[in-house]
Structure 1
C-alpha cells in the first residue's frame, strides 16, 4: 500500500493573505519519519516547478489539514501537529491526506489574530 499513497501538501506562504500552493506527492512511503518527509518536500522532485517565493521560503512544520478550511484548521494543535520522531503512518497520514507546511511563527501570529487581508 505504501507505494500507492498520495499526499497533498499545502505550502503556506501567508495565512493572512491566504497565499498557498498545493503540491501533490505520489508513491510516498508512510514509514518514513516526519523529518524525512520535510526534507523530501524541501528538496522536491523538481524544485524549479514551484514559483520562487514558495521555493525560497523557510517552511518548518506540518499539520494535518481539514479540507473544509481555506488555508488550514486552527484547532487541536496537540492532535494535528505532526511530531518529528513519528513516522507518517504513526502520525495518522493515510492515502489522500492533506497536510500543510508552514513557518511556526507565522502560524502563531495568525492564530492569535485570525484576520484575512484581501
Structure 2
C-alpha cells in the first residue's frame, strides 16, 4: 500500500570519522522516485546544520530481518546492487518497509572506499 512504509535515512557527514545522523521518515510512498526522496531529505540542498555537504547518493544499508554489516557507517560491498539509481522508484530499487539507507556524497565515499581508515 502506498505511503505506509517507514524508511530510516542515515545522513552521512564523514565516513572517516564515522559521523552520521539517522532521520526516520514515516508514511513513505515506495512508488516515488529516488530523486523525489533526495529532494526532501535533509542534506540535499537545505537544513545545512544537519550535514554541511551536499549529499548526492543513496545506498541500502539494512533491511528488516536481514543481516547487518560490521561497518559502523555502512558496508563497502555490493555497490552495483545496493546504490539507488536515479529514475528508479524506491520499490524497484529494493526499498521495503523498515529499510535503512545511507545518504552521502559519492566523492567522499569513493575516497573512503579507496582508503578505509577511521580517524578518531
Shorter-normalised TM range = 0.7 to 0.9
Q: Does 1:65 align with 2:83?
A: no
In the alignment, which of 68, 74, 79 is matched to residue 77 of structure 1? 79
- Deviations along 1:52-100, one digit per CA (max 9) or x if unpaired, are 151x421111000033331001001100110001000000000000000
In structure 1, the gaps of 5 or more residues are none
Aligned position for 1:87: 89
Aligned position for 2:65: none
> What is the SS of the residue equivalent to 1:17?
coil
Aligned position for 1:14: 14
Aligned position for 1:24: 24
Q: Distance in 1 between matches of 2:61 and 2:4?
A: 20
How large is the RMSD of aligned CA atoms in angstroms? 1.9
Aligned position for 1:39: 39
TM-score, with length taken from structure 2: 0.86
Q: Distance in 1 between matches of 2:50 and 2:38?
A: 18
What is the aligned length? 113
More helix by share: 1
TM-score, with length taken from structure 1: 0.88
Q: Distance in 2 between matches of 1:74 and 1:114?
A: 9
Shift of the 33–57 alpha-carbon distance from structure 1 to 2, 3 Å rule, reads same
Q: Distance in 2 between matches of 1:91 and 1:64?
A: 9
> What is the SS of the residue equivalent to 1:64?
strand
Aligned position for 1:114: 116
